Structure 1
Amino acid sequence: MSVVDESSWSLAFAVLGGLLLFWTCLLVTLWFARPDELRLRDALRLLPDVVRLVRRLAGDSSLPRGVRLRLGILLAYLAMPIDLVPDFIPVIGYADDAVVVVVVLRSVVRRAGVAALERHWPGTPAGFAAVCRVAGLGDGGERSGRA
């Protein structure tokens, strides 16, 4: 075996080990940051409305192309059967999906504003306010006059 082959294998194992360590840290972080049972149930109730929201936002040609692209990638990620954390792991199995949705929604709000989310929200005003709180956007109902 030549020196190049040995260093290539060493690099491959180092990268693999780093990815495994990162995934383990993510798993531990999600476990400790997992929502309590009540909040998880409430969040799961909002899931169909959030998926419709993302789909509607992705199809809105008035939004910047980069925002629509991120939303399209989010929809593809949510539809993929392979996740960072497998869904069969109790509680945190769906937490990685929730974290990705929150990050993308925050990004959308930074570029398009809360009004874009509100314009496309298919659910109740209380559900919209809950999504805004979960995503760390404050109470969206207060910003826009919805109750």
Structure 2
Amino acid sequence: MRTWAMAVAVGAGVVLLSWALLVVLARRLPPGLPRELARFLPACLTTVRRLRRHPAVPRRAKAALAVAGLWVLSPVDLIPEFLPVIGPLDDVVVVALALRYAARRVPRDVLLDAWPGDRRLIERLLGPAPASAG
């Protein structure tokens, strides 16, 4: 039992260290695309949190976003977090899929307002705005 608790503690420490590295990179990189990519996962988590509280977001979309948030917070990953660059890749993919799912059910302006980062990144993730029928 003690080795299991130690493994969980080490796993949580590795996750926290990788997140700290992302935060440091996001602050130290010059403005531009590399900096925004380093900020992508934290921006996704902020967006998930904001959308969970918004009344225009349906329950299914909130559930998908909650699962994505739990996936990111979970120490269990398909790709270990301690691997540089590719470690958070599975987290990014899960959150991106959840945001695309939510984007089909949530007004686009609500989703764009919830995004704290560079608007071009979220617009690229969501794809082109649907043509309005008129």
Cα gap change, 1:119 to 1:45, in 2 (>3 Å):
closer
Whichever of the two has the greater Rg, that structure is: 1
Unpaired runs of 5+ in structure 1? 1-37
What residue is the counterpart of 1:137 in the other structure? 127
Partner of 1:61: 55
- The total of aligned residue pairs comes to 99
For residues 51 and 72 of structure 1, the distance between their equivalents in structure 2, rounded to whole angstroms, comes to 10
1:68-121 Cα deviation digits (max 9, x unpaired)? 111111111111111111111222211111111111111011111322211322
> How far is 1:58 from its partner?
1.1
Residue in 2 aligned with 1:110?
Answer: 104
Partner of 2:65: 71
SS in 2 for 1:66: helix
Which residue of the partner structure matches residue 89 of structure 1?
83
Query: What are the Cα deviations for residues 13-63 of structure 1, in whole angstroms up to 9, with x where unaligned?
Result: xxxxxxxxxxxxxxxxxxxxxxxxx96653112333221111000111321
Partners of 2:81 and 2:109 in 1: CA distance: 32
Distance between the aligned counterparts of 2:123 and 2:115, measured in 1? 11
Q: Secondary structure at the match of 1:104?
A: helix
- SS of equivalent to 2:104: helix
State the Cα RMSD in Å: 2.3
Using structure 2 for the length normalisation, give the TM-score.
0.63
* Unmatched 5+ stretches in structure 2: 1-31
CA distance in structure 2 between the aligned counterparts of 1:96 and 1:122, rounded to whole angstroms: 21
Structure ranking higher in helix proportion: 1
Match of 2:95 among 74, 98, 101: 101
Higher relative contact order (CA 8 A, sep 6+): 2
**Distance of 2:64 and 2:86 partners within structure 1:** 23
- The answer to whether the 8 Å contact 2:69/2:95 transfers is no
Seen in structure 2, the aligned counterparts of structure 1 residues 46 and 92 have a Cα distance that, compared at 3 Å, is: closer
SS at match of 1:92: coil
